[in-house]
Structure 1
Amino acid sequence: MPTTPLPRSTDELYQALQENHERPYGRARTVMAEELAEAAEQFDEPVPLIRALLELQEAYTYGSEPRKSPVVFARLLTLFDEQPDLFDERLRHTLFWRFKWVANALRALPEIPLASLRQWQTEMRDRYEKAGYGLQPYYGQAYQLASHIGEDTALAYELWAGRTRTRLSDCEACEICERALYHLTAGDDEGALRAWEPVLQGKESCQEEPARSISHALLPLLRTGRTDRARELHLAGYRGCRRNPSMAGEVGRHLEFCALTGNEARGLELLAENRSLFDEVDSPRDQLDFLTGAEVLLQRVELLGHGELPAAGFAGRTWTVTGLRAEVRERADDLAARFDTRNGTTAHAGRRGARLGREPLTDALELTLRSRGLDDVAPAAAPAPATRSVTPAPDESLSGLIVRARTLDEQGDPDSRACWARLRTLVAARDYTHPDDPAVGPLVRLRADLLDDEAAKAGEKDDHAEAAALYEEAAGLYDDAGQPAYAAVARGCALLAAGQIPDPDDDGAQAKAAALTAAHAAVTALHERTPGLPPYLEARLLRLRATALGLRLQTSGDEEHIAPVLAEADLLHTFATRHDITTQISGALLLRATTFALSGDLPAALAGTDDVLDRLRTHGPAWHLPRTLGLRGRLHLGLQDPQAAYTDLSEGLRLAAGRPADTSGAARLHNDMAGACLHLGRPDEALRHLTRSAELDLRHGVRFDAFCTYSSAARLSLDLGRVEDCIALLDSLLAEPDVTTGELDDRLTAQLRLTRARALHTGEDLKAATAEFVALAAESAGWDDDPGSHAMIAAETAVLLGESGEFARAREAADQALAAHAKDPRYEQLSNCLRELARLQAERQGPDGLAGARAFLTDAGRVADEADAAGYEAQGRPLDVALAYEHGRVHAYAGEYADSLTSLEEALALIGEPGQAQDPEQVGSWAECVRLAGVVEGVYLERPAPALTRLDAAIARLTALGHTEEADSLTSLAARLRDED
């Protein structure tokens, strides 16, 4: 049964063939091509059948189904032999061109005897000679066969490369690749790279190039020391071949490149992204290339001791690296043996062995902005602990470890985390035996300690509901263990955590502040009714009270909430000083400084951090230093002193390097350092800090924050023009399990996809960018709570559709944007979109597009009027000026020159003649209006005299004001008009 209604006429058939031709290669396109070829049989006219068969052969060829391509071609050849007059010049050219496709398909099938391959080449030669075509393409196929077999290729190469190209020769890009591979096989890396240069620089390209050449050039680039170029081409080249069955061999070479550059983790990521190639590639030759590249990667991962890592492989079962490598090796060895048996050589086994025997070419080439090692790709179900591992000293007993953990915890030392992590593992073991030691207490006490630590980590990840539940459970166990003081502190922590649980029905600041007020009151009451607390535990309750009020101030920003925080901080400081509790003394001082910062008194906050740092450096504790330096760095940024901020944050990162990343605040330090670097004009350094911050958060389970930071890094990389870096980073993030399963916030996921779509657009991949924007526009249409974002996305989508020439769809998207804009205005974005659509339609369609372009401008006029009524001021050119200028351009493109000139003069009047203090951007807009008006009047309306008068006056005014650059373009135009006159 067909998947769509069958065409009922040849016109419908041609339309369906054209639509199918626009689809990406793959199973869907192939199935449709098969159905259309079958449908073409119903018509008495043979030409539609010829066209359908040609489309089917192309689908088989680029869909990696070489067994079917020759069968279709045989039928085409029969039709040609029987009725050659049916083939016009274009069809005849296409038919003879595809002799090479068949030769390539036959080489890819080891079951085809070598004699049959040579017979086909003879057939190709005879037919080319009979048709009067030159034989260079034939000799090209003869050379490729010799290379495939492993024969001496010197003579075959000269017979091909020394001949003049013909109309049926492979494209320049493909022939360049073959010549480069000849040098590469001879061991001449430099010669190969010289030959490849036109393709690698983008001067020559085709359906498979430059992706094919890039995949082969990666290792020669590394061997000749061009590591940056190799990195750049890997990112661009991989995107050109990923998930493409007909380019499975190229994907395999990218996997090999990752394995030989210390990027095994990225290699496993790419392997997972291309998992479908294990089952979809029907070409044995492409399979062999892909499997060998995959085996190079798997072999390297196993050699590094990570054979038990999960790996994406053949469908139907779960694989480890070791298991998949064994399966891949068996299948690839069999394929190589089949080719060598057919060819009577050992070339394929030898090439496989050479690839598998290569040593890494560099220890660690940073390929992407998201640098990860194999330790970071452990199964996500059990995140790696965020602490340093703790191994008990040789003479430390289990009792000693428990006592040490509690002592460190009492001191507030974050190293206690490592002890608790070690104890959690020991207690979970089936053979765990709790020590019978009065100094340790019962097992229930230890379980309470472990729950308390687990609750603290949940709170740090903002999972307040989980934290509250765990603290309550810990409190109950403390009661069971006869530890009422610890139970009280755990309940205090539970109260504070519960006060931070978001209310799904009310997320306003007032409601949050009220919840924190209630939490403070509850903790205070708990404190007052719990006498006899040990000083360090009572200090913790005081700290909880102060923290609740500090969070309330942070939430509300209310001046009335400042004094209560300071009062609680003073109470904590007094108590901690009386009992010499070092950690809480510095904590109280730090809380005071933070309160001043939240109140907007940055100088007082800075002075407070100076006091804290003086005390920490004298009395400790040392583990408070990184966070305090981080706070002072942020204060310096707020006071517009980025250099001082950079100094503090650098020291903070240096000190944090010696401590567990989650307890030292390293992720926050890196994030703040990125801000300092941006202020200092060091965007590349800022980018490194952003990605480091994000990966630390991701590693420690703070996933939402990590994705937000990575989103910022992606946007920054795009702003820096690092398009492929941006796309590679986002591809990696969008493949994360919590993204693919929909667990991540949908708006954050949409933001990542939006940045990727913009990067694709910037990288001139218009087709992929448009597809992503269309999908995002459809999804965002349902964002009833955020119509403004939908307006923005729909507007960008409309522009991309306009760039693709799809103005009917662009009109629909623009109407969606306008409807959303009516609910949540986006004046400037909508105006820019509508004016750009008008320009595009007039430029592409000329007079035929004028009506559509005018409709867009009419809408833009309404938006400008709305903005004016709302008192909105555009960040760029005023909307009425931009609109008048666009009217001028649109009418000029449509040949309505008188209307164009009128609009441009209106724009000039709106801008006003430039004056001494005028914004340089306005001067530029005025000069551009003058220039276009000069072109329209002097060239198209053929009135050079008034045009020159306009231009000369403008040149004089701009020169007098010192705007020589703007005057230069007008001077050039004036000289041209005088010459023509």
Structure 2
Amino acid sequence: MARPKKRFQQLLEEIDRTPWGPAEQALVSEAVALAQEIGDERLEYEARMRQTASANMNGATDVMLNSFAWCLAHHDADPQRFPSDLDYGGADLMWQFKWMASSLRSSPAFSQEQIVAVLDDMESHYRTAGLGLSGVLTARFEDAWDAGRIADAEALRVQLEATPRDEHSHCDACGRSQFAGFFAETERDADAIRLVEEMIEGGFSCGEEPEHALSRVLIPYLRAGRGEEAKTAHLRSYRLAKDNPDNLRIVANNIVFAALTGNEARALSLVERHISWLAHDGLNVDAHFAALAAFAFALDRVTAAGHGGTPVRGADAPALEPFFGPHDGAWTAQELAATAWATADRIGAEFDRRDGTDGHAQSLGRMRALADEQYDVPIRSDAFVAAPAAASPVDADGWFDRAMELAQYGAEHETLEALPRASGVEDPYKRAQLLSMRIGILVALDRAAEAAALLPERVAALRDAGKDVQAALEERLGLATFGLNTPETTADLEDALADAASLPAWSRGDLAISRASLHLQSDEADAALDLAEHAARAFAEAEDTRLSNTTTLVAIHAVLSKGDIESASSLLDRFLAQDDLSIGHRAQALQTRARVRGGSDAYVEGATDADEACRLLAGLGATQALAAAHLLAGALWEDAGQPEKSLARYRVTARLVAQEGGDLAGANFRLARAMLAVGDTEEAAELFGTVLEQEEQAEVPAASRAMTASMLARALTGAGEYGQAVGAFGYAATLYGEAEEHADQAVSMTEQAKILARFDENDDALALLESAAEIVRRAPDATGALVEVLHNLGQVYGGRQDDRAFALFDEVTALAQEHDAQWLLADVTDSRGRALAEIGRIDEAVAAALTAADAFAEIGDTGAAGGSELFAARLLAGNERAGDAVAVYRSALEHGAEHPPLRQVAGLELGNTLEALGRHGEAAEVRALIES
């Protein structure tokens, strides 16, 4: 038995250091099973006490109730062997009692008598154990509030506030959150906000705090006219709550906020993301009630915004049938809203019958009353994408034209979708063209067998159209003229071209363009260009404008593959000036020119082309192609330094990719990056977190996940979430280490250290920087990373009066000189001066600071120049050289002309220095100057 018991102790240690979640739950289950296998009830008690806490945190109510009942029975039977407190850092048995009444109340399957019995049993145990009654009063308050007995709840709240706190009272975070929620529900918004702000300012947190508290004051903030604070609270609350299904109630509050504030698309997105949570905990029916009401309200708002017909993804899952019933196909927003209201009404009535009150009916009444409220607090992470402005063709000939336009652009999937609708055309040559498009696309999609099976039908259609020569040619060549690239098809095309003189012009052109395309696939640009010219002459002779233009596009791509950007640009300009281009050809040419212009740094012009391509594709209903076109437009506007415009394009991309399929994580990454660029840091952090989840699930390479984690950390830093940012930078560093990306790993560690130093965690910051310095030297060619790490480490050493700083500054100086990095050279000189000052070498420090100031000024950074001078002046003034400091202060004041904070500080200090020197008139002049 020694080995299983040793394993059991290892499991307990691992459980106690593992965060709540699936991994921790699995360890707890293993510990319980192992204790049962060993046959030791004392060990089982230790495991089950942890199981109760684990189940509570993870929303496994049935497991929690069973585990607690087992533990309580064993404690009551033998308190010595099964003590209420195992002193392991988790909740003790008397604390866990508080969860029981709440859990019974959360399901109408448990009667009021059962709830009262648990509350009475809890009080009896507390009194027997000599414990304070704060925990009992808290449980009774929650019971009265949840049942809708508001007067009783208020009396208990007052009594609870007057009762001394003890070790079984709610923590500061939970207590404030609970009362804030009660105040918000009873229309005491100011009190609710005050409690939550006290909680945030005090840094109080707990298992589901501050996210629950923040969600409770969202509507009070809105009603107080504090929309921006409400938005910040929402984004933080949702970001912290979104990964745990036990937080369903918190997410519900955030969904209502999104719907109330004009963010209907975001509300719908959150409903879709979390609707599956309804099936997570079958006994937490009160959370189901709250979520269903929130979903219904949100979907009503979606419907009112004109999107009631939008499918709600995930709502038709079999696990949700107990809530919504069976449904044929996807639920629309409007349909699901009505059903969610009905289910919430049913559940609320069951609770009210159980409680003998109308508490849940009143709750639904308050939710419905929100229909009269509206607040404008835009959030840009989600938006409805307007359906492409494409009028659907009314007959087969119209669909033929649509399919032709889509094919000319190269929208393979959309063309395949359009082809069946055009199949009723009567013209046999049109039928032949439809078959040609289908065969060519199937070949391009590596479905050659399916393509070959259609050849007889294509040949027959050509003969029906009187194209006997072309029919015979294709019958002989098979898939060679449809893009199949094999040695056999290449040889067949070469032979046919050699004997093509007697063929009609159209057939000669078809052979030439087919072979040109294969040359292009094989990077044989000159040969492709030569044959494209042959094809162009043949199609001109055949008077086929469509294929003449197709040939021109092939020629342009051949010129581009040769790297002749100037000639390709000229060809594109002339091509787009033609008035005989189809929509598909024009969109393709615009997109090509957009890429060419982007590659030539003409980003605005390229982005303008991409936007026009998007407009044309929208008119064709080419949704998959449209997503890629918007992605290109977004990238070009981003490169043009106009992130607001890129944000709009990326948002469309992300929504279309979500609807049509594709790389959603990639689209969301770009969208989040644009949000970060425009300063929407909270929204960027939320979306980067979602991208990281998507990448984790897809098991993308560590380096890609590391980049996302790093961007998440930067967004969290910008949002002021420094604790989470430290963790995110640390995770990024770990992932970069796995990928052996040493430079990026070191930079992530450096960013982590900067935040720690900001909060005076200096020893930890130094240890990180020293490790980063060792790691970055494994990537000696990554000069930027090497400089960043060594410079930061040198600054920390300098601040600690450690002479090792100067060797690092020497190394950074040498790298700056080697790479002609003038700003870096000035900056490291400034750092040297500050380190010299720390060890009392004042003259050298002043000289270094003034040298840095001159260097900054020479490259036009007057703010940095003034900063170095201000530092030098302070050194002089503080070391009995006030007279010398005056001139330096004056120079800093001059450099601060375009930097008001610098100018103000330099002027004030100069005035004080002049006063100390007895130069009162000059001091007055300086003060008057900075006040003007």
Query: So what's the TM-score if we normalise by structure 1?
Result: 0.68
Deviation at 1:550, TM superposition (A): 3.9
Q: 1:660 aligns with which of 613, 616, 621?
A: 621
SS of aligned partner of 1:658: helix
Q: Which residue of 2 aligns with 1:675?
A: 635
Q: Which residue of 1 aligns with 2:279?
A: 278
| 1:255 and 1:271 in contact (8 A); partners too | no
- 1:145-185 Cα deviation digits (max 9, x unpaired): 33212123384276258648735543343344334433432
SS of aligned partner of 2:784: coil
Cα separation, 2, equivalents of 1:885 and 1:305? 52
- 1:277-319 Cα deviation digits (max 9, x unpaired): 5153433433443455556678888964859986235289996
Deviation at 1:920, TM superposition (A): 1.4
- 1:758-805 Cα deviation digits (max 9, x unpaired): 3554548999999999xxxxxxxxxxxxxxxxxxxxxx769449xxxx
Indicate the larger mover: 199-208 or 676-685. Answer: 199-208
Q: Does 1:692 align with 2:691?
A: no
Cα separation, 2, equivalents of 1:855 and 1:365? 44
Q: 1:343 aligns with which of 355, 377, 382?
A: 355
Change (3 A) 1:846 1:410: closer
| 1:291 and 1:328 in contact (8 A); partners too | yes
In structure 1, the gaps of 5 or more residues are: 377-385, 393-397, 428-433, 502-514, 774-795, 802-812, 939-943
| 1:236 and 1:724 in contact (8 A); partners too | yes
Q: Which residue of 1 aligns with 2:394?
A: 391
| 1:246 and 1:281 in contact (8 A); partners too | no
Q: Which residue of 1 aligns with 2:480?
A: 495
Q: Which residue of 1 aligns with 2:26?
A: 28
SS of aligned partner of 2:436: helix
Change (3 A) 1:929 1:683: same
Change (3 A) 1:158 1:720: same
Deviation at 1:570, TM superposition (A): 3.1
Q: Which residue of 2 aligns with 1:424?
A: 420
Cα separation, 2, equivalents of 1:830 and 1:889? 19
Change (3 A) 1:489 1:355: farther
Q: Which residue of 1 aligns with 2:847?
A: 953
Cα separation, 1, equivalents of 2:191 and 2:629? 48
Change (3 A) 1:31 1:326: farther
Deviation at 1:345, TM superposition (A): 0.9
Deviation at 1:548, TM superposition (A): 3.4
Q: Does 1:874 align with 2:783?
A: yes
| 2:747 and 2:772 in contact (8 A); partners too | no
Change (3 A) 1:971 1:281: farther
- 1:931-968 Cα deviation digits (max 9, x unpaired): 34654xx3xxxxx4xx4344233234334444342455
| 1:452 and 1:470 in contact (8 A); partners too | no
Change (3 A) 1:487 1:375: farther
Q: Which residue of 1 aligns with 2:185?
A: 185
Q: Does 1:614 align with 2:577?
A: yes
Q: Which residue of 1 aligns with 2:595?
A: 634
Q: Which residue of 1 aligns with 2:4?
A: 5
Aligned length, in residue pairs: 843
Superposed counterparts of 1:32-181, under 5 Å: 34=32, 55-64=50-59, 65=61, 67-68=65-66, 71=69, 74=72, 100-110=98-108, 114=112, 117=115, 140-153=138-151, 155-156=154-155, 159=158, 163=162, 166-167=165-166, 169-181=169-181
Q: Does 1:312 align with 2:324?
A: no
Deviation at 1:636, TM superposition (A): 3.2
Change (3 A) 1:697 1:5: same
Cα separation, 2, equivalents of 1:74 and 1:841? 44
SS of aligned partner of 2:631: helix
Cα separation, 2, equivalents of 1:417 and 1:79? 70
- 1:831-874 Cα deviation digits (max 9, x unpaired): 65798999999998969x98x9988866765x36xx4xxxx361
In structure 2, the gaps of 5 or more residues are: 858-864, 882-932
Change (3 A) 1:973 1:126: farther
Superposed counterparts of 1:488-527, under 5 Å: 488=473, 494-495=479-480, 522-527=492-497
- 1:300-354 Cα deviation digits (max 9, x unpaired): 8896485998623528999646699999889766653443233211222443465
| 2:597 and 2:605 in contact (8 A); partners too | yes
- 1:690-723 Cα deviation digits (max 9, x unpaired): 343465567666x36x765555445555666756
Cα separation, 2, equivalents of 1:224 and 1:531? 84
Change (3 A) 1:149 1:873: closer
Cα separation, 1, equivalents of 2:90 and 2:520? 81
Superposed counterparts of 1:748-787, under 5 Å: 753-759=705-711, 761-762=713-714, 763=716
Q: Does 1:237 align with 2:242?
A: no
Change (3 A) 1:68 1:165: same
Deviation at 1:189, TM superposition (A): 6.2
SS of aligned partner of 2:5: coil
Amino acid paired to 1:924: D
Q: Does 1:476 align with 2:456?
A: yes
Cα separation, 2, equivalents of 1:830 and 1:111? 53
Change (3 A) 1:80 1:679: same
Indicate the larger mover: 636-645 or 718-727. Answer: 718-727
Deviation at 1:653, TM superposition (A): 3.6
Superposed counterparts of 1:902-913, under 5 Å: 903-912=804-813
Cα separation, 2, equivalents of 1:307 and 1:85? 50
| 2:271 and 2:295 in contact (8 A); partners too | no
Change (3 A) 1:830 1:949: same
Q: Which residue of 2 aligns with 1:602?
A: 565
Amino acid paired to 2:457: L
| 2:833 and 2:848 in contact (8 A); partners too | yes
Change (3 A) 1:532 1:712: farther
Cα separation, 1, equivalents of 2:725 and 2:492? 54
Q: 2:436 aligns with which of 452, 468, 473?
A: 452
Change (3 A) 1:266 1:327: closer
Cα separation, 2, equivalents of 1:831 and 1:181? 44
Cα separation, 1, equivalents of 2:494 and 2:558? 20
Identity %: 18
Amino acid paired to 1:907: L
Q: Which residue of 2 aligns with 1:786?
A: none
Deviation at 1:643, TM superposition (A): 3.3
Deviation at 1:970, TM superposition (A): 7.0
Amino acid paired to 2:237: G
SS of aligned partner of 1:640: coil
Superposed counterparts of 1:309-388, under 5 Å: 311-314=316-319, 320=327, 335-352=347-364, 355=367, 359=371, 369=381, 371=383
Deviation at 1:19, TM superposition (A): 3.5
Deviation at 1:527, TM superposition (A): 4.9
| 1:602 and 1:635 in contact (8 A); partners too | yes
Q: Does 1:583 align with 2:582?
A: no
Indicate the larger mover: 330-339 or 540-549. Answer: 330-339
Change (3 A) 1:94 1:723: farther
| 1:387 and 1:660 in contact (8 A); partners too | yes
Q: Does 1:828 align with 2:828?
A: no
SS of aligned partner of 1:6: helix
Deviation at 1:75, TM superposition (A): 6.0
Q: 1:920 aligns with which of 808, 823, 842?
A: 823
Amino acid paired to 1:875: G
Superposed counterparts of 1:701-712, under 5 Å: 703=662, 708-712=666-670
SS of aligned partner of 1:342: helix
Change (3 A) 1:489 1:217: farther
| 1:649 and 1:673 in contact (8 A); partners too | yes
Cα separation, 1, equivalents of 2:799 and 2:521? 60
Query: So what's the TM-score if we normalise by structure 2?
Result: 0.71
Change (3 A) 1:598 1:160: farther
Give the alignment's Cα RMSD to 1 decimal.
Answer: 6.0
| 1:627 and 1:652 in contact (8 A); partners too | yes
